[in-house]
Structure formats: structure tokens, C-alpha cells
Structure 1
């Protein structure tokens, strides 16, 4: 188990629901990845690089609602600027399985 955190620590992580609206291959990434454009409603559209190619085809990701951290600093990955971090869990092979939302919620909704 990780080190215990305070409630304030948890509140500082801004996890939001967003819908993937565009997916492109990312050939310049060191590990196989996609470039995602994600609609977070009033927060706008943010980009992310995600190493999720093992379990997901591009066409299956369009319209899928995901959970992402939206308050990390931007991160340069090759020639791409990632603006949020899509969340997921590694499977038994280390391939990422996306975190999911049981029912659709408005884009931009904050996890509480």
C-alpha cells in the first residue's frame, strides 16, 4: 500500500470525465501509443498520449468516456504535448486497461 495521504492531498488531484473525440497513431512514441483528443465539456478539449494499443482499436475508442487527471503540467512526449493523464490499470501482462465510468455523466464532471 502507498503512503497515507490527507483529504486535502486527494482534493488536489483533479480527476474528470471526458469523451474521446479523436484518436491518431503515435509513431514517434517510444512505446506503442495513441494520441487522443478528449472533450471535457466546459474545460475544453485536451490532448493526451496513451499506451493503450494492446486492448483498444482506434475506432472503438471514439465516443468512449474516460477518467483523466486534468491538473498535471503539460508534458512533452516526442513532438506531442500531452495535457492530461488518462487513467487505467495494468493487466497481468502490463498492458493498460482503461478506468471506466459505469454510466454516462456530463463531460467535465469531477470525481468526488
Structure 2
């Protein structure tokens, strides 16, 4: 188990719901990945790079609602600037399975 954190620590992580608008191949990434455009409502549209090519086809990702951390600093990956981090769990082979939202919520909704 990880170290215990305080409620204040948890509140620092800004996890939001967003809808994937676009998913394209990212051939310059070291590991197979997609470049995603994600709508976070009033927070705007953010970009992310995601190594999720094993379990997800690009066309199946568009319109899917995901959970992402939106308050990390931007990170350059090859020639792409990632602005948020989508969340998921590794399967038995280490391939990422996205966190899912059971019912549609407004884009930008904060995880409580």
C-alpha cells in the first residue's frame, strides 16, 4: 500500500471527466500511442498522448468519456505537447485499460 495522504493532498489532484473528440496515430512516440483531443467543457480542449493501442481502436475512442488529471505541467513527448494524463489500470500484461465513467456526466465535472 502507498503512503497515507491527507484530504488536502487528494484535493490537489484535479481529476475531470472529458470526452475524446479525436484519436490519431502517434508514430514519433517510442511506444505505440495515440494523440488525443479531449473536451473538458469549460476547461477547454486538451491534448494527451496515450499508450492504449492494444485494447482500443482510434474509431472506438471518439465519443468515449474518460477520467484525466488536468493539473499536471505540460509534458513534451517527441514533437507533441501533452496537456493532461488520462487514467487507467494495467492488465495482466501491463497494457492500459481506461478508467470508465458508469453514466454520462458533463465534460469538466470534477471527481469527488
Q: TM-score, normalised by structure 2?
A: 1.00
Partner of 1:22: 22
Query: How big is each residue's C-alpha offset from its partner over 1:44-103, in whole Å with a ceiling of 9 and x where there is no partner?
Result: 000000000000000000000000000000000000000000000000000000000000
Q: Distance in 1 between matches of 2:12 and 2:58?
A: 31
Q: Displacement of 1:2 after TM fit?
A: 0.4
Q: Distance in 2 between matches of 1:12 and 1:61?
A: 28
Partner of 2:84: 84
Q: TM-score, normalised by structure 1?
A: 1.00
Partner of 1:12: 12
Q: Distance in 1 between matches of 2:7 and 2:37?
A: 30
Q: Distance in 2 between matches of 1:104 and 1:15?
A: 15
Q: Distance in 1 between matches of 2:92 and 2:23?
A: 25
SS at match of 1:21: strand
Q: Which runs of 5+ in 1 are unaligned?
A: none
Q: Distance in 2 between matches of 1:18 and 1:74?
A: 17
Q: How many residues align?
A: 112
Q: Displacement of 1:14 after TM fit?
A: 0.1
